[in-house]
Structure 1
Amino acid sequence: MTHAIDVVGLYVRDQDEALAFYVERLGFKVHTDVRNGDYRWLTVQAPGQAGFQLGLFKPGPPVHDAATARALDEAVAKGAMPPLVLRVDDCRASYERLQAAGVEFTQAPVERYGSVDAGFRDPSGNGWKMIQARAATPAEGAA
């Protein structure tokens, strides 16, 4: 029996705004964009990462009632959701490129834990950590 995670969803306040951010600023590509009445299934993928999708979902019917949808929107806007992690080859270069593309960072690159990381939020308030992939040590490379 095989198990694999295909989609991880984020709640966003506006799917068109989120789509523009993830595609135009972060360089993701659209994987699926289909509608069924008022419901929209919208997923994107990071460049070069086949299979795994990030769902950009709007809280509301048919899954949530209006009160729950409002509560979720408020929690996301306050940064209450756990951050996602974007792995990059060079955190400082990615920071410069994304900042020039209009991404607003909550934390400039910082060196710690043997790597470099920075933080930003999407337009809905979802937090991201951008972490530089660590170079393998000689001992790790030999394994």
Structure 2
Amino acid sequence: MDLTIHASFLPHDDPDAALAFYRDTLGFEVRGDVGYEGMRWITVGPAGQPGTNIVLHPPAADPGITEDERKTIAEMMAKGTYASIVLATRDVDAVFERVQAGDAEVVQEPMDQPYGVRDCAFRDPAGNMVRIQQLKP
């Protein structure tokens, strides 16, 4: 079977803040920026990896959810428990310095984990957990 990951979805509640974090701080390319009925979907991805995308989407656009569910999602986003993503790099310490300088909320400084990876963690402007792992040589 020949499968790849084409897109993952992360909610946002402030498209300009999401764009500043993913484009300006992390250095991702903007591949799409679409507005519809007062909402905005932004697609970003790492340079040189055109088939790998993150779609930053308004949670209110999810079909079939109730107003109570929207409220729960907003509360979970605020606590950073609704969505997460794990990124990888060859130099987690250098990426940590860049992201920290961008004023992101630091959750964990770079450290060697007992399960064999070195990583760090931040919250994006919507509260999503962004973990960054060091690639093994």
Q: Same fold (TM over 0.5)?
A: yes
Choose 1 or 2 for highest CA Rg. Answer: 1
Structure 2 counterparts to residues 16-95 of structure 1, below 5 A: 16-61=16-61, 63=63, 64-95=65-96
Pair 1:39–1:103, CA change in 2 (3 A): closer
Aligned residues: 135
AA at the equivalent of 2:109: A
Counterpart for residue 119 of structure 1: 121
CA contact (8 A) 1:79 1:126 kept: yes
* Cα distance in structure 2, aligned partners of 1:61 and 1:34: 13
Aligned to 1:133: 135
Contact 2:32 2:42 in 1 (8 A): yes
Structure 1 58/24 Cα, relative in aligned 2: closer, same or farther at 3 Å? Answer: same
Counterpart of 1:128, as a letter, is V
Are the equivalent residues in 2 in contact too, given 1:11–1:73 (CA < 8 A)? no
For 2:88 and 2:23, the matched residues in 1 are separated by: 17
TM-score, length basis structure 1: 0.82
Q: Give the whole-Å Cα distance in 2 for the aligned partners of 1:61 and 1:89.
A: 35
Residues 61/108 of structure 1: CA separation in 2 closer, same or farther (3 Å cut): closer
- Secondary structure of the corresponding residue to residue 77 of structure 2: helix
Give the direction of change, closer, same or farther, for the CA distance of 1:50–1:61 in structure 2 (3 Å limit). Answer: closer
Separation in structure 1 between the aligned mates of residue 91 and residue 5 of structure 2, nearest angstrom: 26
Match of 1:8 in 2: 8
| Other structure's SS at 2:27 match | coil
- Show structure 2 runs of 5+ residues with no match: none
- TM-score by length of structure 2 reads 0.85
Deviations 1:58-90 (A, max 9, x none): 121472454332221211111213531110111
Q: 2: distance between equivalents of 1:105 and 1:132?
A: 17
* Aligned partners of 1:11 and 1:72 also within 8 Å: no
Q: CA RMSD for the aligned pairs?
A: 2.0
Residues 90-140 of structure 1: CA deviation (Å, up to 9, x unaligned):
1111111221222221101101233311111101110011100012xxxxx
